[in-house]
């Protein structure tokens, strides 16, 4: 069973600053890693897939990196509308398990 | 515009059954795999089930295997989740999610969710 661990649990960042979120897989998932953003009362939204490819319509301030077991989501120049919970998800295993991390909450200072 | 609209949620007693429907529009429903994901109150996301374009490949998470069944009707652009033997811990918002066309698909569009409450 694969476990996805995100850190930190909560991140407080000032507007205009950089936010760096981490996701670690308990075993290699190659580059098969996605990031989602979920705002209160809303459905998740796909941000990044393939570890580093932005989904359609996602602003360039969101970027993903990593492979294997260590991944990073970076939000440069944080905006107030970026306050949300961010989840990583592995999409490597088949049959699928689509395991999500527990989420990182990004707060605006 | 891609739209996914879940319906069929509500209050059900433990041991009861419920069937969720996800109505799809704005894309060629028959061309994409689909999934169900749930989120318990204040908790994270949990994938539940996957169904391929023509229903020939179906997977369920271990947590719901034998109790929940995913299905689809491409003629009606609809995805279903039949939930039987419901437990308190099945209380959650249930989302349908469209899969991408990829060897390892991700979920590029989500519905707004249907709340299922299991309680006596």
Q: What is the pLDDT, as a whole number, of residue B9? A: 97
- Tens-place pLDDT, residues A49-98: 999 999 999 999 999 999 999 999 999 999 999 999 999 999 998 899 99
Structure tokens at A2: 């694969």
> What pLDDT is attached to residue B102?
83
Structure tokens belonging to residue B11: 């209050």
Residue B43, pLDDT > 90, answer yes
pLDDT at A94: 87
Nearest Cβ partner for B106 among A38, A42, A91? A91
Q: Chain A: residue nearest B110 by CA?
A: A43
- The average confidence (pLDDT) of chain A is 97
Q: Do A96 and B46 touch (CB under 8 A)?
A: no
Burial grade of A13 (CB within 10 A; 0-12, 13-18, 19 or more): middle
Q: With a cut of 90, say whether residue B41 has pLDDT above it.
A: yes
Do the Cβ atoms of A43 and B113 come within 8 Å?
Answer: yes
**Phi, psi at residue B102, to the nearest 5°?**
-165, 160
A55 touching B, CB under 8 A? yes
Is a pLDDT exceeding 90 seen at residue B104?
Answer: no
pLDDT(B37) > 90: yes
**Across B17-39, average pLDDT:** 98
Q: What's the whole-number mean pLDDT along residues B52-56?
A: 96
Which of the residues B1, B65, B103, B106 would you substitute to probe the A interface, choosing the one with the greatest number of A C-beta atoms within 10 Å? B106
Q: Where are the beta strands (DSSP E) in chain A?
A: 4-7, 10-13, 19-25, 33-38, 45-49, 53-54, 62-67, 70-75, 84-90, 104-108
| Across B96-114, average pLDDT | 94
Indicate if the pLDDT at residue B103 is higher than 90.
no
Chain A residue nearest residue B111, CA to CA: A43
Who among B50, B102, B112 is closest to A96 (CB)?
B50
Of all residues in chain B, the one with the smallest CA distance to A32 is B104
CA-nearest residue to A105 within chain B is B44
Q: Looking at residue B119, what is its pLDDT?
A: 96
Q: Is B5 on the interface with A (CB under 8 A)?
A: no
């Amino acid at each position: 069973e694969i476990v996805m661990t995100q850190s930190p649990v909560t991140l407080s960042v000032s507007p205009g600053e950089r936010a760096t979120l981490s996701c670690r897989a308990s075993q290699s998932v190659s580059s098969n890693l996605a990031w989602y953003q979920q705002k209160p009362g809303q459905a998740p939204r796909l941000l990044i897939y393939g570890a580093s490819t932005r989904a359609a319509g996602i602003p360039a301030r969101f970027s993903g990196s990593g492979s294997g077991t260590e991944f990073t989501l970076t939000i440069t120049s944080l905006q107030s509308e970026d306050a949300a919970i961010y989840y990583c998800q592995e999409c490597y295993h088949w049959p699928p398990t689509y395991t999500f991390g527990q989420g990182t909450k990004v707060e605006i200072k | 515009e891609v739209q996914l609209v879940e319906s069929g949620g509500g209050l059900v007693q433990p041991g009861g059954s419920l069937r969720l429907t996800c109505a799809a529009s704005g894309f060629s429903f028959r061309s994409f795999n689909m999934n169900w994901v749930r989120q318990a109150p204040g908790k994270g996301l949990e994938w539940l089930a996957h169904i391929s374009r023509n229903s020939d490949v179906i997977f369920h998470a271990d947590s719901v295997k034998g109790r929940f069944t995913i299905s689809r009707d491409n003629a009606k652009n609809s995805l279903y989740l039949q939930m039987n033997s419901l437990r308190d811990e099945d209380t959650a918002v249930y989302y349908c999610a469209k899969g991408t066309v990829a060897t390892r698909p991700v979920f590029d569009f989500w519905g707004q969710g249907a709340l299922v409450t299991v309680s006596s």
